[in-house]
Amino acid sequence: METKPSDRKRSLLMVAVTAGGLGLLLAQWLLTSYTAVEVIPYSQFEQLVAQGAVTEVTVGQDTIQGKLKDKLPNGKTAFVTTRVDPALAKELEAKGIAVTGVSSGGALTTLLSWVLPALLLYGIWILMANRMGGREGLGGLMSIGKSRAKIYVEQDIKVTFADVAGVDEAKFELQEVVSFLKDPSSYGRLGAHVPKGILLVGPPGTGKTLLARAVAGEAGVAFFSISGSEFVEMFVGVGAARVRDLFEQARKSAPCIIFIDELDALGRSRSANALGGYDEKEQTLNQLLAELDGFDPRSGVILLAATNRPEILDPALLRAGRFDRQVLVDRPDKLGRVAILKVHVRKIKTAADVDLDKIAGLTTGFTGADLANLINEAAIAATRRNGDQVTFDDFTAAIERIVAGIEKKSRVLNNEERRRTAYHEMGHALVAASLPGVDPVQKVSIIPRGIGALGYTMQRPTEDRFLLTVSELKNRIAVLLGGRASERLIFDGDVSTGAADDLVRATEIAMEMVTKYGMDRTVGQRTYAPRPQIFMPATQDAVVSASEATGREIDLAVRQLIDEGADRAYQILERRRAELEAGVELLIAQETLTAEQFAPLRAARPAGDGKAAA
């Protein structure tokens, strides 16, 4: 990690203070060591005085120093002893010995006892204050009301629209902002003005922050970047002060862009009974609303914000005149994924067999961040096998790594568990190959992966789907229960715990069919589920709003859907038992099977009402 100049200055200051202190201590030790002074007991001193061996004495507050007529056995003539009797002066004077007084410490003693500790404490205090100030952003407690925005000048931003792919509609919307920042006068020749605030909404990882940086890079203006959580502190009023300071800095640097990431941390809808920390958040939000009302977009300050939870934002924040425009940055479709892959493969060496269109077809639902991670994982896989280029097999391994988890080669299954797992996974695969509207099977494996999976059946869609019918959802339930149905068929109903995750996912689909999509005639065409989050996955423990009687009807409808799916899967496997047995033997021998290696997995699936194939 690169060392900052301020860090180097602090380190040099600490080294200088420490070296100075050690130097003074060394000087004192040297003076003490090389002075020809003998430390003697006070009783010996009295004897020497009585014998007339002392020629000169200097009396201090705590010690008595002097010189002798003759040398001591070690050759020294100077001595020092601790003062015991202050009335000794009379006896010395009677013997004709010169007596003089001295202060308790000299200049060096004073320096070492007072000045040096003070300097050391001051140096430590300065060092700690600077470090605390660095962590606080712009100077510690004295600058707690200052904005923590990271300021990127024109030369710092290397991102342009060429680096952003898969979100063409969003880029088109933001081109107007770039045009305004480059030439405000011509943009407003018909009286139009750029929106005060633009809110980028979309799932995590779709490139909202990257788009904001690309706008600043295209326009060539300063870019103020800050997270919504950085406004709120434990001190009341700090958030509002930081909002004021941020907009004040932006006005001085106009034209520029202010980008607030994770706006939902700051702009959450206000509550009528807010107390404590929530009240501080409301003050910060009120200040942001006031700033949005107060600044003129013609001044060259554009406010961009990003969130993946627009449904919880305060309505006052989204009204016209504040965040005038909302730009959707959604998951890319297949063409968008191809464009994103083309951007990221520039950084790696790919082999001739890499088909980006095919990879895009296998990555339905991936965001831009997921695809960037996929490219990196494929490059790591190629590096691990000492390859010169990244091949299509490396991309396939990377997809499996992301979707199913890492292989657990150390987890060794006994023969019975391997056989049961093989029947379970082949049951999934054959049911999927027998029903329409189900994603085709790519691979079946009994190699343990992830946290608890003893095997997996990989299905990847061939096209993007935006609507699902009742029959298609029922078919998905049947595929999920195909593993349990295979165990029931082969082991005479003695099933295992391997279907735990399958049951959870099947129950979720059935529950949504009944409570969210109104697909059960008995329960009725109304919704009982809470309002879902737009871009975030729904929680599994969502409370169903229904009476006790209706709740029982919902439970019965969900159970019926799951039982029907289990029975359909059982009937399919009963008819295709020979293929099931053959597939299991081949899977146990090879551990991994693809659709090309086992013909029944790539059999043509019937189209129509979703009934099982014969």
At 58-107, the pLDDT tens digits run: 877 777 888 888 777 777 778 777 776 656 656 665 666 665 555 555 55
CA–CA dist 68, 72 (Å, integer) = 8
Q: Are 302 and 199 in contact (CB under 8 A)?
A: no
Mean pLDDT value across residues 200-214: 88
Report pLDDT digits (tens) over 100-130. 555 555 555 555 566 667 777 777 777 666 6
Kindly tell me if the per-residue pLDDT of 155 is higher than 80. Answer: no
Contact 312, 269 (CB under 8 A): yes
**Of the candidates 304, 154, 164, the residue with the CA atom closest to the CA atom of residue 217:** 154
Structure tokens at 528: 């009982």
- Between 368-384 and 392-403, two packed helices, what is the crossing angle to 10 degrees? 120
Beta-strand relationship, 98-101 and 54-59: parallel
Which of 258-262, 401-405, 545-549, 604-608 holds the top average pLDDT?
258-262
For the chain, what is the mean pLDDT? 78
Placement of tokens 């934002």 in the chain: 313
Residue 363 corresponds to which tokens in the numbers above?
């990555």
Q: Crossing angle of helices 482-490/548-575, nearest 10°?
A: 60
Choose the weakest-confidence range: 29-38, 114-123, 146-155, 468-477: 146-155
Residues 154 and 547: their CA atoms lie apart, in Å, by: 60
Top mean pLDDT of 336-350, 516-530, 532-546, 563-577 is at 563-577
Does residue 224 contact residue 151 with C-beta atoms inside 8 Å?
A: yes
Compute the 3-state secondary structure of the chain and give helix, strand, coil in percent, each to the nearest 5.
50, 10, 35
- Backbone dihedral angles phi then psi of residue 4, each to the nearest 5 degrees: -75, 155
Topology classification of domain 150-328: Rossmann fold (3.40.50)
pLDDT band per the 50, 70, 90 thresholds, residue 3: very low
In the DSSP assignment, the letter for residue 259 is E
pLDDT for position 112: 57
Identify the residue whose tokens are 């892959």. Answer: 341
Name residues whose C-beta falls within 8 Å of residue 529's C-beta, 6 or more positions apart in sequence.
Answer: 512, 515, 516, 538, 542, 544, 545
What element of type H or E holds 382?
Answer: helix 368-384
User: Contact, 322 vs 293, CB < 8 A?
Assistant: yes
Q: Where are the domains of the chain?
A: 5-107, 150-328, 334-403, 415-602
Amino acid at 456: Y
Nearest CA to 238 out of 226, 250, 230 is that of 230
Please choose, from the candidates 374, 595, 274, 610, the residue with its C-alpha nearest in 3D space to the C-alpha of residue 475.
Answer: 610
pLDDT, mean of residues 519-534: 80
Residues recognised as catalytic:
425
pLDDT at 415: 84
Which stretch of 19-23, 148-152, 443-447, 450-454 has the lowest confidence by average pLDDT? 148-152
Domain 415-602: give its CATH architecture: Up-down Bundle (1.20)
Q: Give pLDDT tens digits for 560-602.
A: 999 999 999 999 999 999 999 999 999 888 888 888 888 888 7
**Can you tell me the mean pLDDT for 360-372?**
88
Please state, as a whole number, how many other Cβ atoms lie within 10 Å of the Cβ of residue 368. 26
Which of 396, 385, 400, 386 has the alpha carbon at shortest distance from 353?
A: 396
Q: Show contacts of 274-278: CB within 8 Å, 24+ apart.
A: 277/232, 277/234
C-alpha distances in Å from residue 6, one per residue of 10, 40, 134, 215, 300 = 6, 53, 9, 31, 33
Residue 56 pLDDT grade (very low, low, confident, very high; cuts 50, 70, 90): confident
Residue 538 CA to residue 289 CA, distance in Å, equals 30
Task: Give the Cα separation of 406 and 272 in Å (integer).
Answer: 48
Select the CATH number that applies to the domain covering 334-403 from these four: 1.20.140.10, 1.10.8.60, 3.30.565.10, 2.40.160.150.
Answer: 1.10.8.60
Those residues whose C-beta lies under 8 Å from the C-beta of residue 450, and which sit 6 or more positions away, are 404, 405, 406, 408
Q: Tell me what the mean pLDDT of segment 266-274 comes to.
A: 68
Closest CA to 256 of 154, 335, 167, 342: 154
Q: Taking the C-alpha atoms of 494, 498, 503 and 509 in order, what is their torsion angle to the nearest 10 degrees? A: -130
Instruction: Tell me how crowded residue 42 is: count the other CB atoms within 10 A of its CB.
Output: 14
Residue 344: which residues within 8 A CB-CB, separation 6 or more?
371, 372, 375
Structure tokens at 548: 């006790």
Query: CA nearest 565: which of 512, 522, 503?
Result: 503
DSSP string of 449-495, one letter each residue = BTTTBS-EEEE--SS------HHHHHHHHHHHTHHHHHHHHHTTT--
Report the distance separating Cα 566 and Cα 506, nearest Å: 10
Rounded CA-CA distance 348/352 in Å is 13
Dist. CA 128–CA 136, nearest whole Å: 12
Average pLDDT over residues 446-457: 76
CATH topology (fold) of 5-107: 3.30.720
Q: 415 is written with which tokens?
A: 């023969």
Average pLDDT over residues 332-352: 89
User: Rounded to an integer, what distance in angstroms lies between the CA atom of residue 484 and that of residue 478?
Assistant: 10
Band (556; pLDDT cuts 50, 70, 90): very high
- pLDDT at residue number 567: 95
